[in-house]
Structure 1
């Protein structure tokens, strides 16, 4: 495993094997270590990294957009001399992946959008707005998020995972977190999905209340060469709780891409 920083100060981990690499983009408030259940699960190389303002990657801009996150990924794969990737984005990582795919479709072999928001209802938008305002006032992240991200049964049986994710939330630089979270909260689904030509898997957990199965189904209809899957019993972090199922769907997807 290679753990390093590129010339733009992006921290990454590369499990180098063979074939077209899988690149995983984590969610807001987290870092590349959430992909531990995926790193050794594939025959291909696996690249994970910390997005701007998270983990060991700094954020030195006041004004940010999804374009700078796409450029971050482009700079990273260019520096590693990677021509094509299987791109998997989770939560805000899926929004980064959507932006990247619209701009740099030719660099993709396949695209997976995991737990992606799409066309929030007025009520759903109000809920995420309220959580954003609470985070701004309290200057910390609510652990209630874990109850939306995992089933109660899983958290009872896996206290180590609860502690690990809680620790990640606690170590956030709140100024950076709020900048990035604001992008997620205010996202308006204005991508030109016709620019995504690569085969796309849109997938979410059956019990994900923020990135619902209905959202994934509707998003899949917007992307021409795509299909959607629901992970039974999964919630937002189904990539951890239901990792075997999630990994199997990604494997089938990249094999057919």
Structure 2
């Protein structure tokens, strides 16, 4: 949503921050997501929750923060299955690569080093496609960078905003 808004209304956006973002997926990567959606729809959400949790959180974080993970699971389980599946369709079919190069504003792209969902490879491709973007890969983290290290993410964003402001 953020990149689409920045593309359509660049006069309203000073900077853009993209966290664990998807684009430039291979057909194989897309198929894995479609397969996951199929499993959720045919066997139910509980069938895939352990896999999702292990993709989102490091083992240490999940072990040390069981209530945080339990709250996330509860939130997902309370969601309509179709709505949750739609999020994955968006992740699979995101076609920003066709227009992301049009975004000229300063952009910070950030992902976890071990994010299997929105991996560093695709985030590097996003940055390479954009004329004014920079990449931050957060060591040892998976997909949920804001869940595991919110302070680190906030510092990186604040520093980026300050750099942009100071460059004026």
In the alignment, which residue of structure 2 is the partner of 1:159?
66
From 116, 131, 141, the equivalent of 1:209 is 116
Greater percentage in helix: 2
Q: How does 1:30-49 map to 2 (within 5 A)?
A: none
Distance 2:78 2:24 in 1: 31
In the alignment, which residue of structure 2 is the partner of 1:105?
10
Measure how far apart 1:190 and its partner are.
4.5
Measure how far apart 1:149 and its partner are.
0.3
In the alignment, which residue of structure 2 is the partner of 1:75?
none
In the alignment, which residue of structure 2 is the partner of 1:147?
54
Q: 1:189 to 1:197 in 2, by over 3 A?
A: closer
**TM-score for the superposition, normalised by structure 1:** 0.59
Distance 1:179 1:123 in 2: 19
Measure how far apart 1:207 and its partner are.
0.6
Deviant stretches of 4+, over 6 Å: none
Helix, strand or coil for the counterpart of 2:126?
helix
Greater percentage in strand: 1
Given the alignment of the two structures, is residue 120 of structure 1 paired with residue 25 of structure 2, yes or no?
yes
Helix, strand or coil for the counterpart of 2:137?
strand
Helix, strand or coil for the counterpart of 2:140?
coil
**Runs of at least 5 residues in structure 1 that lack an aligned partner in the other structure:** 1-95
Distance 1:108 1:98 in 2: 10
Measure how far apart 1:138 and its partner are.
2.8
1:94-142 CA distances to partner (integer Å, 9 max, x unpaired)?
xx21211111122111101111122112332221111111122134363
**Runs of at least 5 residues in structure 2 that lack an aligned partner in the other structure:** none
Q: How many residues align?
A: 162
**Does structure 2 retain, via aligned residues, the 8 Å contact 1:101–1:195?**
no
**Does structure 2 retain, via aligned residues, the 8 Å contact 1:132–1:185?**
no
From 99, 102, 127, the equivalent of 1:220 is 127
From 131, 153, 157, the equivalent of 1:246 is 153
**Does structure 2 retain, via aligned residues, the 8 Å contact 1:154–1:241?**
yes
From 121, 124, 134, the equivalent of 2:39 is 134
Distance 1:186 1:194 in 2: 18
Distance 1:104 1:241 in 2: 32
Note the aligned Cα RMSD (angstroms): 1.6
